[in-house]
């Protein structure tokens, strides 16, 4: 199978961790193209879906009983087994196994066994109750076997859930992330909701013909298997918001490199958030501006003028609409004798900032050197219209006449 470079990049990002919904956003392909590519690879067996892979965990040695009185009453398949030789009641072992098995998919609320609208007191109560049940110190010095590590893991998750839900700010953040639903719905909600509802009509613009109902259905089926668990999603959103925040702080303190890195991470964790993308773009602009300034300073100090020109051109690449950069490049090109280049930059400077007489004078100078006296006179006339008293206009006119 021949892969385009962008497809190759997309393939390189498939690592067993990054979900479909992220892959389709970061690949450099249009999301629909990414979907198609991924779908094709799946069909050819190039990549495997996680759900198809054999279960990674060991199969339970003994059939475990359903969890007793779990907070949300869901059944879960424990990954270990009850060992009657341990210094821990079998019922408690079952409870531990069941609780740990649920951790992977449970939301923070589910970990604590509280409702969305729970009061702070209820959350604290749940935390204390669970602590008394699962804190490792409750079973200090007992022979716990594998359960020691499980208890610790459970308590860490309980404590984290409590920490996040007991702080009104983080709690609000988490609950808002839950509201925005799974990412498969978020980016182009109309299309997928339609598919879910099994409607047959086409939804939205479909220039490339990817979104036929059957294809939509197929994609949706694949996607639902690829979908991130709610908790993971909320966690990623939460992380993204934290990166976004630290990016803003860094940007505020003009630590651009760090700001850009954090902004990139925010996007990586939550590719559906437009704010993050905007933030990244504005930081990039600032980074380039700073780099351009730096380059200009270097250009001023550089011995070889042609080196300076190269640096300036790089700066212009970063900030293509800055007229003064173009004007400076034009003047340096004049010095190096590259009059064609000088004319080009002078013209763009005039275009970008037509009200600046200097740019027109520079253009006139370049045109004169190129032997285009008529053009030069016109440029000088424009400059004179803007600023009749500009001393360089008279000087340039003199040179023009003498050159003739």
Partner 1 sequence: MSRVIGIDLGTTNSCVAVVDGGKPVVIPNTGGYKTSPSMFAISQDGKRLVGHLAKRQAITNARHTVYASKRLIGRRFDSPELQKAIELFPYEIVEGPNGDARILLADKAFSCSEISGIILREMKRVAEEYLGEPVSEAVVTVPAYFNDTQRQCTKDAGKIAGLEVLRIINEPTAAALAYGIGSSREEKIAVYDLGGGTFDISILELAEGVVEVLATAGNTFLGGEDFDRRIVEHVLEEFQKQEGIDLRDDLMALQRLKDAAEKAKCDLSSLSVTEINLPFIANDANGARHLNLELTRDTLDSLVGDIVEATMKSVAQCVSDSGLGPDQIDHVVLVGGQTRTPLVQKAVTEFFGKPAHRGVNPDEVVAVGAAVQGSVLVSADRDLLLLDVTPLSLGIATFDGHFAVLIDRNTTVPVRKAHVFTTTRDNQSAVKIRVLQGESERADENHLLGEFVLGDIPPAPKGQPEIEVSFDIDANGIVNVSARDVTTGREQSIAVNTTGTLSDEEIAQIIAENADVELPRDA
- Binding segment toward partner 1, per CB under 8 A, in 3-11, 197-205, 256-264, 382-390: 256-264
Sign of CA dihedral 226, 230, 236, 240: positive
- Binding segment toward partner 1, per CB under 8 A, in 39-47, 127-135, 177-185, 350-358: 127-135
CB of 319 to partner 1, least distance (A): 20
Told to check if 88 binds partner 1 by CB under 8 A, we report no
Told to check if 170 binds partner 1 by CB under 8 A, we report no
Smaller CB distance to partner 1: residue 219 or 250?
Answer: 250
Among 74, 264, 310, 319, binds partner 1 (CB under 8 A): 264
Among 125, 215, 291, 390, binds partner 1 (CB under 8 A): 125
Smaller CB distance to partner 1: residue 15 or 52?
Answer: 15
- Binding segment toward partner 1, per CB under 8 A, in 61-69, 101-109, 124-132, 393-401: 124-132
Told to check if 56 binds partner 1 by CB under 8 A, we report no
Smaller CB distance to partner 1: residue 12 or 44?
Answer: 12
Q: What torsion, rounded to 10 degrees, do the Cα atoms 77, 80, 85, 86 define?
A: -100
Told to check if 255 binds partner 1 by CB under 8 A, we report yes
Return d(Cα 223, Cα 217) in angstroms, integer.
10
Among 1, 2, 5, 17, binds partner 1 (CB under 8 A): 17
Smaller CB distance to partner 1: residue 226 or 280?
Answer: 280
Q: Please identify which residue in the block is written with the tokens 């300034």.
A: 293
Residue 359 and residue 353 in contact, taking contact as beta carbons nearer than 8 Å: yes
Q: How many residues bind partner 1 (CB under 8 A)?
A: 32
Q: Which two tokens stand for residue 269?
A: 């964790």
Return d(Cα 180, Cα 299) in angstroms, integer.
50
Told to check if 310 binds partner 1 by CB under 8 A, we report no
CB of 134 to partner 1, least distance (A): 10
Told to check if 294 binds partner 1 by CB under 8 A, we report no
Smaller CB distance to partner 1: residue 27 or 357?
Answer: 27
**Which residues here bind partner 1, judged by CB under 8 A?**
15, 17, 124-125, 128-129, 131-132, 135-138, 140-141, 152-153, 155-156, 159-160, 163, 239, 243, 255, 257-258, 260-261, 264-265, 268-269
């Amino acid at each position: 199978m021949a892969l385009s470079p962008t497809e190759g990049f997309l393939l390189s990002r498939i690592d067993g961790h990054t979900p479909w919904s992220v892959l389709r956003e970061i690949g450099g392909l249009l999301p629909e193209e990414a979907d198609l590519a991924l779908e094709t690879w799946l069909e050819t067996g190039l990549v495997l879906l996680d759900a198809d892979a054999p279960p990674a965990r060991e199969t339970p040695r003994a059939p475990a009983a359903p969890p007793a009185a779990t907070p949300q009453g869901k059944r879960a398949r424990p990954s270990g087994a009850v060992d009657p030789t341990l210094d821990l009641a079998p019922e408690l072992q079952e409870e531990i196994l069941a609780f740990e098995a649920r951790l992977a998919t449970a939301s923070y609320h589910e970990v604590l066994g509280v409702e969305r609208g729970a009061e702070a007191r209820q959350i604290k109560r749940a935390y204390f109750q669970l602590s008394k049940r699962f804190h490792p110190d409750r079973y200090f010095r007992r022979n716990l076997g594998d359960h020691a590590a499980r208890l610790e893991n459970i308590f860490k998750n309980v404590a984290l859930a409590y920490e996040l839900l007991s702080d009104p700010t983080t709690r609000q953040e988490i609950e808002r992330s839950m509201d925005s639903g799974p990412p498969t719905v978020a980016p182009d909600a109309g299309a997928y909701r339609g598919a879910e509802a099994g409607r047959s009509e086409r939804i939205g613009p479909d220039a490339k013909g990817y979104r036929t109902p059957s294809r939509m259905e197929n994609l949706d089926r694949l996607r639902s298997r690829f979908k991130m668990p709610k908790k993971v999603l909320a966690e990623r959103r939460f992380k993204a918001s934290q990166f976004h925040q630290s990016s803003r702080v860094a940007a505020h303190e003009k630590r651009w490199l760090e700001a850009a890195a954090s902004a990139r991470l925010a996007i990586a964790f939550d590719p559906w958030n437009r704010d993050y993308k905007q933030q990244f773009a504005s930081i990039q602009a600032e980074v380039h501006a700073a780099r351009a300034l730096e380059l200009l300073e270097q250009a001023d100090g550089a011995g070889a003028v042609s080196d300076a020109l190269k640096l300036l051109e790089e700066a212009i690449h970063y900030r293509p609409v800055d007229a003064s950069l173009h004007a400076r490049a034009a003047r340096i090109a004049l010095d190096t004798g590259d009059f064609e280049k000088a004319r080009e930059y002078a013209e763009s400077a005039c275009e970008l900032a037509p009200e600046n007489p200097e740019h027109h004078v520079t253009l006139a100078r370049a045109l004169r050197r190129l032997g285009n006296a008529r053009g030069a006179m016109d440029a000088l006339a424009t400059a004179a219209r803007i600023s009749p008293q500009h001393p360089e206009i008279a000087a340039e006119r003199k040179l023009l006449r003498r050159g003739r």
